[in-house]
Amino acid sequence: MHGLVSLLPQPYYGMVERIWDDLERRFGLRGIRVTPLPHFSWNIGEVYPQEKLEPAMQEVAARISPLRVRAVGLGIFTGPEPVIFIPLVKDRALLEAHQIIWDRFQSVGEGLSPYYSPENWVPHISLAYQDVTRENIGGVMEALSFEPVHWEMPIDNITFIYEPLGEVGSLNFTFPLSGT
């Protein structure tokens, strides 16, 4: 799956990388490395044709102003392959930006994940996935539970991460948010 994301600014980018490094060192968790860029996702899908992608990204970047997002606490998406994450607080600016992106990319992306539709979207920063198991989740959650997470971050970009199945994701396009 490929994704429209916003990369985190420093120092938060580095803080997430340090958490990933610690989880790898202490628990052997490497699944997160398939998308090695600290970010949160607006939209993910199977195909984004390049001839439509770049102009659509430029259009939404020109419509959305830089915004501030808050990240607080720790969360888990449950199921056979749990995901451990830092949730973002949904406020009006974040929801409005998401709606603009969702609406515009309905005619661009193919195989869009319904988990990223406005009624289902849970904005988050992934900390561990693909290799979280019954055996390691308790230790991982215990370790992360004592990480103070109460961040307020400026977000000033929309970025496309190209991630073919089985390959490490790479940054393809990034545009500054410049709306007024």
Query: Residues 53-94: pLDDT tens digits?
Result: 999 999 999 999 999 999 999 999 999 999 999 999 999 999
Q: Are residues 87 and 71 in contact, defined by beta-carbon separation less than 8 angstroms?
A: yes
pLDDT at residue number 35: 85
DSSP-H helix ranges across the chain: 12-27, 50-63, 92-105, 134-144
Q: Are residues 6 and 39 in contact, defined by beta-carbon separation less than 8 angstroms?
A: yes
pLDDT at residue number 18: 97
Give the range among 30-34, 36-40, 74-78, 116-120 with minimum mean pLDDT.
30-34
Across residues 128-133, what is the average pLDDT? 94
pLDDT at residue number 54: 93
> Checking DSSP bridges between strand 83-87 and strand 157-162, what pairing results, if any?
unpaired
Q: Rounded distance, CA 33 to CA 20, Å?
A: 8
Across residues 99-105, what is the average pLDDT? 96
Choose which CATH entry (3.30.70.660, 3.90.1140.10, 3.40.50.880, 3.40.50.300) describes domain 2-176: 3.90.1140.10
pLDDT at residue number 166: 65
Confidence label for 33 from pLDDT (cuts 50, 70 and 90): confident
Domain boundaries, the chain: 2-176
pLDDT at residue number 147: 85
Q: Which two tokens stand for residue 117?
A: 């539709």
Closest CA to 4 of 139, 123, 133: 123
Handedness of CA 102, 103, 108, 114 (dihedral sign): positive
pLDDT at residue number 162: 80
